[in-house]
Structure 1
Amino acid sequence: MLDNIREKKTSVTTYILVGLAGLGMLFLGVPLFSGGQGSTSIAEVNGENISISAFNNAAQNLRAQFPDAELATVERAALNQLINKQLFNQTAANSGYRYPDQALYNDLKAQFPDDASYKTFLERSGISAGAYENSLRNDLTARRYGELMAITHIDNPQIARQFAANFAQTRDVTLIRLPLAAAVSETSLSEEQISDYYNDHQQSYLTPDRVNIDYFITSVDDFADPQSISDEELAQARDEMQKTDSRRAGSYLLFDQQEQADNARAQLSDGTLRDSLTQAIDAGEISGEYGELNLHKAGEGISPAADKALFALDAIGDYSPVVETDYGYMIIGLSKIDAPEALGDGALRAQIANKRAEETYLSQTNQAFDAAQNGTALAQIATLLNQNVQNSDWFSAERPPQDWMSQPEVSEQLFGERALEAEEMAQPVAIDDQRSVFFTVTAREAAAVPELDTIHAQVSDDARQAAAREALEDNGNAVLQAWKDDPQALDELISAHQGERLSYQGLSFTDENSALDEAVLQQIFQQNARDHAFFAPNGDYLISHLDAVHTPAVDGEINNLDQWTSLWQRTSQDLFAVGLTEWLRDNAKISVNQDVLSRSAN
């Protein structure tokens, strides 16, 4: 729009938007900066060091998350996380992928809205802008690269072949299924056992807080009346739209000194053509610049002052007085008006009525808010706003009958730490830009555990289910032991517990038509132990015996990338990360400074 204009004379304060704190971490909740590390290394990964300070920070972070875990376990996990992250960062860097500048800018614009907050962050963190930018860009590059690998074709041939081989793997498995239903049918409990279960699990039967409220909702629509718009108002609105909703194009003459601009404006008033002035500027007879203003709406121009001048002109060919802008002294000319699409009378009346309704809604609602805060009864406020009070009977925070009741400002007053008492007027809440709710709690029922006799059937069923699951685990252990030590007794045990033995050949993780439940299939492929016992989603107890694993070699080009790429899209990306880091570790040079690690542990 202003191709020939030099930069503004008065520079606008700018700041560097360099990274979104914490966004790039794949394995930890805080960034691992490339600079400022301690001189002592705890590990080396493909020639790159991991500092003892980074290790201490990671371990401290994990200890805060898992305070009950053993220190040695936490520190091993911290070191593994740092190694995995280093490996992944190296893979991303070697791929040639780089987190885009615009994405980095957009991320950090949301994090640091102004220069002051960014500078404060850097000062408190004790890091320069350049170091922070490099570190965060590396982390963001690694994270986005991982996301891309999980949802698109992987362009690393070695990784592609490794994962293709994993996906092509098949397993032969024998499953023993012990049904929950049979165990439940064989379980009989005394009243004393049911009572004991009830006493031990009372919190499971706790009924939540419940309330009964009176309320009404007022909205902008309540005040909209298109029929009230007169013909005169309609005509006035059309005239206004020509200025506010039209698009305009024009031209400008720009001068450094006001005196030069005033002289040029006087010549235009005396009949001098603009072309004569622009030719004089080109010839160096006048010191100034000129150009065109592209078609745009009000408020979208190069300068607020210039824009205001352009849209104040009445007719094509008119020129504005001299206006002072960020660029210098300007004279604005109007060359084109692109009128907005004309609305029919009905649509325009509705538009005017809605705008007026918004103003009335704000005014009336603000008065109603004040009345509520001053203790005015709900019914009186409803009368002022011409509303009818409604009632919502007994509901809890977990199951509100209407969406607006889940809004934090409403839910906090109903069920928060300082919940309203019965007959207490609530602070009104703006549901959105168009609606507000006024309400009061008419009755409240505190959370309580029902007496056993009122929920006896439910408790009895739950107790039998729990006892049956315990029995299933005991029976499963016995079956597993017989499988190992006494195969002849195995079939008798399976029959005694109404179980069954099932054999599966060539199970594949990519088989969408598998006879097995997807969760069961994942258990089979995520566990590498020969014997593995677990509960199925339906409660049955399964004992899995791995008979054989077939992993074909994958050489040359990968032809089925679509199949296993789409599989990652519908399965856990965590599993993807686990598989990748295992492969990276197998192909990396990793050394750990055991002396430093031992001193740290002590």
Structure 2
Amino acid sequence: MLEKIREGSQGLAAKIVLGAVILSFALAGIGGYLGQTTEQPVAEVNGVKISQLDFARAFENERGRLEQQFGEYFEQIASDPTYMAQIREGVVERLVQQELQNQLAQELGLRVSDEQIKQAIFEMPYFQIGGQFSNDRYLQLIRQMNFQPDDFREYLREEMTRNQLVSAIAGSDFALDSEVKQTLTLQQQTRNVDYLVLDKEKLKSQVSVTESEIKDYYDLNQDQFMSPELVALNYIELKASDIELVDPITDEQVRAYYDENQAQYLEEERRRVSHILIESIENPESAQAKAQELYSQLQGGADFAELAKTHSDDVASGELGGDLDWIERDMMDPEFEAAAFALTNVGDYSSVVESEFGFHIIQLTDLQAQEVKAFEELASELRAELEQNAKIDAFYGKQEEVRELAFEVADSLDDAATAANVDVKNTELVARNLLPAPLNLPAVSRVIFTPELLEDGVNSEVIEVAPEHVVIVRVAEHKPAAVKSLEEVTAQITTRLENDKASELAKDKAQELFAQLEGGKALGEIATAEALEVKSEPALARQSYAVSPALVSKAFKMPHPGEGHASKAMVELNNGDSALLVVKSVNLAEVADELEPQQKQSITRTQVNKNYLALLNALEDTAEIVKPSTFEVAEEN
């Protein structure tokens, strides 16, 4: 098992998980917590304290994930203090579980080496530019996450070590065929049910709502009637691609650039070759002798392509006369390559060459010598590259000038806009979740809703929204979130109270009718007397979408009906309706003796998840965990 654990930290899944962690942190950012310290931990696990900074990182990571998941609806969700309290509690719980895993990993002696950490960092695409690791990019991103290099390496070590535990559970768990069949039998079981629904909408005519009830509900639930925080913004946007060059790129500059960089425009030598392969796995001496015999036949005038078709062990190329198509340097086995590139003229063939695959005879069938691409072929591409470089240079020069002016004249963007040769753009009053692009990016919206911009009315710092693309914003007008007036929400409250009262009537009526059902009255008789409709599902499945989820769930929790009598229940539905449910019989599934691999994999995965949760619960049950009843964390607005 320990071998599986150690392998787990090096696999593709581990890199994907770690990459996701880095990406979500990079998108979310934790700038709002820089410098934040506190003595009080958010939790303590077997004497190890989980700090406020640990919580801040994890909470902002989770917030960023939710913003991406829910998009424009997140602000509406986040305005519910109960929901955000649940999010905070969930983050603390995960931190506790992670610390328990860290302690178990230490107890098991699990380790991730410095070399593994280094390799993981080098391979993360978020730290790469053009497919190559960039130390500048690496340092920039981890500083955005409020990490120093040593801290980040230790954070990564903990993540990779925990991943070893997860991989161990996934790699060592299994399900017996009998267990899989038993599970499939339950999963594929269906039930024969009848039900009737008491629709609350049909009972609304029997309810009324008074003004005092509306007023009372409004007073007790004002957090439900908040109008969102609104801002009107001024901003300037500077993009390298939009910059107009004062001095256009000349033909002379393009030619000079080509001459200075000719080494970059080399087309490497290519050779088209054919070969005859005699494999040497079973008997190297015999293979070499056969290859030498074929070489002798070639020297005697035999046709290379015919010999390849009849004798080569490389069947695919042999059918084509041994043709391997075009090759370049560093494509083939070193011994093969050396022999192929030593041939001088088209038609020449090598002596017998040994490689790891066996013995070869190689023929040169075509040749493209190394050459430099012509200037005319590259001129337009080089001009575009020079223009882009010039625009980027101009961009960074303007960015610095704009940064200084926005700071010096903090109550206006006019001077900065003039220096950048761009217009100041404006928005109407808009909610956070409706900001226009590029202001709707989390990195920008967080800055907009800081006290400095909302209360002091100053210009923001330069905010990067993409490579060579920045904005500076200021808040022209701010309307804090406020409770809507009673008049604005009276209709909404009336509908809510009517629904609640109608649901209570439906529930009371369902209880009355359920008593009749329990007393022996048939469901059909009840339906007829109440002008209701009985619906039937002779083969209701667990995954049925045609029936209310509450009814499906209840149907499969009810006991099997006995001889001569059905199982009965009253069910409150999620939409406020109520229902009577009768399970008449259970239809057992027939499972084939031969199991599908996907079925076994799915059930094993479910078992893995159950065992993983069981491990976490066991660790919590035996640990000494202290969570303060309340703690405060400064959140960004």
Task: State the TM-score, normalized to the length of structure 1.
Answer: 0.54
RMSD: 5.3
Task: Choose which of 542, 547, 566 in structure 1 pairs with 2:584.
Answer: 547
CA distance in 1, matches of 2:453, 2:186: 55
Deviation (angstroms), 1:387:
1.0
The answer to whether 1:478 aligns with 2:528 is: no
The answer to whether 1:501 aligns with 2:534 is: yes
Deviation (angstroms), 1:189:
0.8
CA distance in 2, matches of 1:183, 1:104: 68
Task: Choose which of 158, 169, 174 in structure 2 pairs with 1:142.
Answer: 169
| Equivalent pair of 1:17/1:105 in contact (CA under 8 Å) | no
| Equivalent pair of 1:533/1:544 in contact (CA under 8 Å) | yes
| Equivalent pair of 2:461/2:472 in contact (CA under 8 Å) | yes
Deviation (angstroms), 1:218:
1.4
- Figure out how many residues of one structure are paired with residues of the other and give that number: 401
| Equivalent pair of 1:180/1:469 in contact (CA under 8 Å) | yes
Deviation (angstroms), 1:209:
0.9
Cα 1:244–1:551, aligned 2, differ >3 Å: closer, same or farther? same
The answer to whether 1:161 aligns with 2:190 is: no
Deviation (angstroms), 1:542:
3.5
Q: Which residue of 1 aligns with 2:557?
A: 527
1:162-206 deviation line (CA, Å, top 9, x unaligned):
333233311112222121322334321111112222222211111
Task: Choose which of 413, 416, 420 in structure 2 pairs with 1:381.
Answer: 416
Amino acid paired to 2:591? V
| Equivalent pair of 1:19/1:105 in contact (CA under 8 Å) | no
Cα 1:430–1:392, aligned 2, differ >3 Å: closer, same or farther? same
SS at match of 1:462: helix
Amino acid paired to 1:139? V
Amino acid paired to 1:370? E
Deviation (angstroms), 1:481:
3.4
SS at match of 1:552: coil
1:359-401 deviation line (CA, Å, top 9, x unaligned):
211221122122212234211111111111221111112x223
Q: Which residue of 2 aligns with 1:94?
A: none
Task: Choose which of 231, 241, 244 in structure 2 pairs with 1:211.
Answer: 231
CA distance in 2, matches of 1:526, 1:488: 21
Which residues of structure 2 form unaligned runs of 5+? 1-5, 15-44, 56-84, 87-95, 105-114, 128-137, 139-147, 270-327, 331-368, 560-566, 626-637
Which of the pair has the greater relative contact order for Cα pairs under 8 Å at 6+ separation? Answer: 1
CA distance in 2, matches of 1:211, 1:184: 41
Task: State the TM-score, normalized to the length of structure 2.
Answer: 0.51
| Equivalent pair of 1:211/1:441 in contact (CA under 8 Å) | yes
SS at match of 2:427: strand
Which of 369-378 and 209-218 deviates more? 369-378
CA distance in 2, matches of 1:417, 1:470: 46
CA distance in 1, matches of 2:169, 2:394: 53
CA distance in 2, matches of 1:483, 1:579: 43
Amino acid paired to 2:538? Q
| Equivalent pair of 1:369/1:428 in contact (CA under 8 Å) | yes
| Equivalent pair of 2:554/2:571 in contact (CA under 8 Å) | no
1:535-582 deviation line (CA, Å, top 9, x unaligned):
5565533443333222235352136x66x689x7xxxx9x97379859
The answer to whether 1:187 aligns with 2:207 is: yes
The answer to whether 1:556 aligns with 2:593 is: yes
Structure whose residues are more often helix by fraction: 2
SS at match of 1:443: strand
1:269-297 deviation line (CA, Å, top 9, x unaligned):
xxxxxxxxxxxxxxxxxxxxxxxxx959x
Q: What percentage of residue pairs aligned between the two structures are identical? A: 17
| Equivalent pair of 1:226/1:353 in contact (CA under 8 Å) | no
Task: Choose which of 399, 421, 432 in structure 2 pairs with 1:365.
Answer: 399
Task: Choose which of 606, 631, 635 in structure 2 pairs with 1:577.
Answer: 606
Deviation (angstroms), 1:425:
2.1
SS at match of 2:483: coil
CA distance in 2, matches of 1:545, 1:108: 62
Which residues of structure 1 form unaligned runs of 5+? 1-15, 25-55, 69-77, 87-100, 147-153, 250-293, 297-335, 586-591
